[in-house]
Structure 1
C-alpha cells in the first residue's frame, strides 16, 4: 500500500472512530508510533481538527465543527445535461453576474419543455475554463434518448466519465466565500496526491437544500481530478 492510499484510508478511519490513541491506529495500520503521530499532524494541516485529551486514558478526538463539510472523491459516469449556455471573458464579471441569474429564471420557467429529466429538483451549473475566457452552462441532468429533441434556444452537453473532489459549500453566496470553498478543495487535492484537471468541466449541483436567499446556502462543488503523475 502506498503512502497516499494509507493516508486516505487513515482519514476515513479517523472520521469513523472519532476518538482514538496514536498507538491504537499505529497497530491497526502496521506502522510505528512515530510514523502514525506524524500522519496525524499532517491530517491537522488538511483541516481535520484533532483535540488531544491528556491522561492515562487520553488520546485524540475530532472536534465537531458545525459548519465544516468533508471533501469526498466521487466518480460520475458519462452524463448528459440540457439548458442554456454563454461564453464570457474573465474581465466581464459584472455582466456575468447579471446574465447568469436571468438564465436560471428562464430555465426554471421552461423545465416542462425538457424531456426525461433525471432529477427535476436538482439544477447543475457547468464551467469550462480556457486561457482568456470560459463557457458557463445552466442545466438540468437528463436521461439521454436519441429521439429526444432539444428545446429551442437551449443546448445539450455530454460530460465524459470523470472523477471529482466534492465538497458541500455551506456559506453565503458571496463570491469571496464561494472562492474560499474552491481554494479549500484545491489545497486538499494538492496535499493528497491528486491534480485538478483545469480543462475539464467543473460542476456545481444545486439540490433541494439550496436556498439562494437564506443567510447560509448549501450546494455541492465538483472539481475534476486525477492521480498525480
Structure 2
C-alpha cells in the first residue's frame, strides 16, 4: 500500500470519527433539550399564574381606592343629620306663642292711644256695668266740687297729688251753662288705684286712690 493510500484512508477515518462525534453531540443536545423542556414549561406556567394574581390584586386595589374616594366625597348621613333639617323646619313653621296669643294692647283701649273727647250735649257716657282692670272708660269729670275727688263706678277716688285745671273749661251746653266738666277716661289700674286721662286738656294723667268712704259737696 502506498503512502498516499494510507494517508487517504486515515483522513477518511478521521472524518468519519468526527461525523460520529458530531452526531453524538447533536443527540446529547437533543436529549438535554427534551429533559429541560418540562421545567421551562412549568416555569412559564407559574409566571403566567403569578402575572394573573398581580393583575387581579391591582384591580382589587383600584376598586378599593375608588370606594374610599367615594366615601370621602359623599360621607354617609347620620341619623342626627337626617333629622336635624326636619326639626329645624318644624321649629320655623310652628307659630310662636307671641304670634298666637293676642296682646292686650290690641284689644284694650287703655293701652292704645286715647283720642281727645268732647262733651256730649246729650249727657255723660253711661257708666259701665262691670269694670275691668286696665280698661279705659269714657268719663266726664264734673268739677262742681272742685278737684278733691271724683266718683266712678260707684266708688269715690281721691287725687294722689293736687291738680291744676286748664283754662277754658265750661259746662255741657257751653259757657255759663253749668258747672265745668272735663271729658276724659278713667282706668282702674289695681284694687285701690286708678288714673284719669284727658288727652288734649291735661299733659299728664291724674293718679287716683280709692277713698275710704263716699263724699259729697254738701
Whether TM-score is above 0.5 comes out as no
Task: Choose between structure 1 and 2: higher strand proportion.
Answer: 1
Query: TM-score, normalized by length of structure 2?
Result: 0.22
Question: Quick check: which has more Rg, 1 or 2?
Answer: 2
More helix by share: 2
Higher RCO, Cα 8 Å, sep 6+: 1
Query: TM-score, normalization: structure 1?
Result: 0.21
